Chains A and B, each alone.
Chain A
Amino acid sequence: MQHYNGAVVWSLALHVAIFVGLAVGIELPERPRVAVAAAPIQGVIIDSAAVRRDQAARDAAARQERQRQQRQEQQRREAAEQQKLAEQREQQRVADAARAREQAAEQERDRAAAAKREQERQAQVAREQREREAREKAERDAAAKREREAAAVRERAAAEQRRREAELQAAIDLDRERTDAAAAGLLDLYKAALEDAIRDAWNPPATARPGVDCVVEVVQVPTGDVIGARVTSCNGDDAVRRSIEQAVRDASPLPTAPDPTLFERVVNVRFKPDQ
């Protein structure tokens, strides 16, 4: 792959160069520039007397116009004033009619309102009654529903509780199992080591025959040193008793526990020969 990289680079460089070259190096031929021609100007002749006559005519016209306009204006003002008076009178009349109507309507409205209020009041009473009843019913329903819901919630909670407890218990059990298994593995090792040590130390007499069943209670300290040994039960003779006591003392110090938590101060050693 290594030697291909160089080839790729060269190729790219070459392409770039070509592009650059293309973009910059090659000139396009220029188009010639063309100017836009302006529009020609046309000239005008002017007469001064005419101009003044026009002006006086226009002035007289203007005065007439102004007078007319003044008269019109006057007329308009007068008309407007009259109009305004008429309107005022109309307005007054309309207003009065309206006021009368208004009053009648108002009375009517009052009466209707009173009747309506009365009606409403009754309706309100009835409604309130209904509402009260409905409310109570709704309350009862709601209460029942709440109760049901609460019960359901409690049930769910209890189920949840049980489920969680079961989970917890299972978790505890699993945990204990795991610990036990780990401990059992180590515990078995420890017990086997103790058994090996005591088995090696025990010199059984001829009277230690199948049927003999004796227990020595051994008290040890964590270093394995035996600080006490006591025959707690034994159906063997003195020679057997002595031999088992000697066995546990000879085996001292006992093997230490592979895990300090496995140490037990008291070890019950049972001697039960099988041959």
Chain B
Amino acid sequence: MSIVVESVRIVARSRAALLGALAVASALLAPAAQAQLDITITEGRERAVSIAVVPFGWQGAGPPALDFAGVIGNDLGSSGRFAPLATADLVSRPTQASQINFQQWRVLDADYLVIGQLSAEGADSFRAAFQLFDVLRGEQIAADTRAGIVRADLRDTAHRFADLIFQTVTGIPGVFRTQVAYVSEERRPDGSRLFRLIVSDADGENAQRVAESPQPILSPAWSPDARRLAYVSFESGNSGVYVQTLRTGARERVSARAGVNSSPAFSPDGRMLTLTLSRDSGNLDINTLDLTTQVLRQLTTDAAIDTEAVWAGDGRSIYFTSDRAGGPQIYRVGTEPGSRAQRITFTGVYNARPRVSPDGKLIAVVHGQDNRYRIATVEIEGGRVDILTNGRLDESPSFAPNGAQIIYGTRENNRGVLASVTTDGRVHTRIAAVAGNVLEPVWGPFPRE
């Protein structure tokens, strides 16, 4: 009897051992996932990308025809997404890939490196090239070469390079070759004023006067092909809407009716304008004007102030400001007849001057609260409001065509200045290159070619 029990005990022990062995074996033979660590990252630490832009090599007589690295570094820095190293901090100045010692750049914590070459090849012909390197991997990730550039186009070429660098690193298109339009108001000693409508490069360079008047000019609006500007001018004594072709300077007065003529905006196909007209009723309403047929159609009939219309990207609806609910809020109405306006903003007592983001998901507005007027974005679906700026009298928000930045007007020392903010509100930049008392900035579209 005891032998039986004893033998059972032995069997029991060995079975336990077998179990144990099986457990170990299964642990060893289990699918690979169990022998690896799995972690999940749901957010990062967004910050400006550290980039070193080395002065380009120059081959030609005299000083370099253009400081390419300066233009590129300035462009990248102004976007708020890059932090170019100061030129003084560059440990070396390679102009060829073979001269690069990546370890040096890693020590400087530069994630990317730009080197380039500029050479004169004729009286007015230049050749420019750049290479962009991923410092951590020690690999080239973008490059471009252009030849036969005339001096006048050198700056544009530098902006082209900056666009390519921007897009390679961030994944979104750069806007360094776009233009902005704005109004400058000069107050003369004798009390009179001079208004100028100006178009310049996005970085403020190459400013050109488009129109000038002792009477107010406001509300410039770009045509989608960037060839025309519509604007409001009081030069006739009353408000009137004008459309001017930039290249030729020729312009057409498209509305000079009795009462208010203001707030022009081009449709996405460039064929129509929305206009705010009061006509005889004295009541401001949104209208569409076909620029070809001159057919005018009234879109709103409410007794309230309805103004500041802009088109949605698909051209099928229009966003505008209306105070039919008591104070100014943003509404949307379809362009087809009989469409009813729908209110879009419900947060805050003052939301005006809508501008739609290129991806159609946000509108930028002037958001008033406690006697402060700041730029905010409103999610069209959901209505979430994000206040982006910190001024007291911020106005005229306008999206860059890549949707990543918003230019707007603000005040500094009682003077109008231009500023921009990244759409997520993270980085603010003053556009210092534009001097004087400036207002009403609007960002132009991507250039055609």
Contact = CB atoms under 8 A, between A and B. Distances in A.
Interface in B12-60: 12, 15-16, 19-20, 23, 33, 35-47, 49
Contact of B172 (A206, A273, A274): A206
A270 B40 contact: yes
Contacts of B20: 172
A205 interface: yes
Q: Which of A169, A238, A242, A264 has the most CB of B within 10 A?
A: A242
A203 B43 CA distance: 9
A191 B15 contact: no
A180 to B, nearest CB: 12
Contacts of B11: 161
A239 to B, nearest CB: 3
Interface in A190-222: 190-191, 194-195, 198-208
| Interface range on chain A (Cβ under 8 Å from partner) | 35 or more
Interface stretch (B123-131, B134-142, B202-210, B214-222): B134-142
Contact of A266 (B36, B169, B172): B36
B111 interface: yes
Interface residues of B, number: 38
Given A165-B12, A207-B171, A238-B168, A272 B4 contact: no
Interface in A216-275: 237-240, 242-243, 245-247, 249-250, 264-275
Interface string B373-402: 000000000000000000000000000000
Given A169-B19, A172-B20, A273-B43, A246 B37 contact: no
Q: Is the interface of A mostly helix, strand, loop or mixed?
A: helix
Q: Is the interface of B mostly helix, strand, loop or mixed?
A: mixed
B141 A264 contact: no
A270 B172 contact: no
Contacts of A274: 42-43
Given A264-B35, A268-B37, A165 B45 contact: no
A195 B43 CA distance: 10
A164 interface: yes
Interface in A148-184: 149-150, 153-154, 157-158, 160-161, 164-165, 168-169, 172
A273 B44 CA distance: 8
Contacts of B12: 160-161, 164-165, 168
A270 B38 contact: yes
B172 A165 contact: no
Contact of B169 (A194, A239, A273): A239
A219 to B, nearest CB: 10
B5 A153 contact: yes
Given A202-B41, A266-B37, A153 B4 contact: yes
22 contacts: A157-B4, A161-B15, A164-B12, A168-B16, A172-B20, A195-B40, A195-B41, A199-B43, A199-B44, A201-B45, A203-B44, A206-B170, A237-B171, A239-B170, A242-B134, A242-B141, A264-B35, A264-B36, A264-B37, A269-B41, A270-B39, A272-B42
Interface of A: 149-150, 153-154, 157-158, 160-161, 164-165, 168-169, 172, 190-191, 194-195, 198-208, 237-240, 242-243, 245-247, 249-250, 264-275
Given A200-B45, A239-B172, 7 more contacts: A154-B8, A168-B16, A191-B39, A198-B41, A199-B41, A206-B172, A267-B39
6 tightest A-B contacts by CB? A239-B171, A202-B44, A207-B171, A157-B8, A204-B44, A266-B36
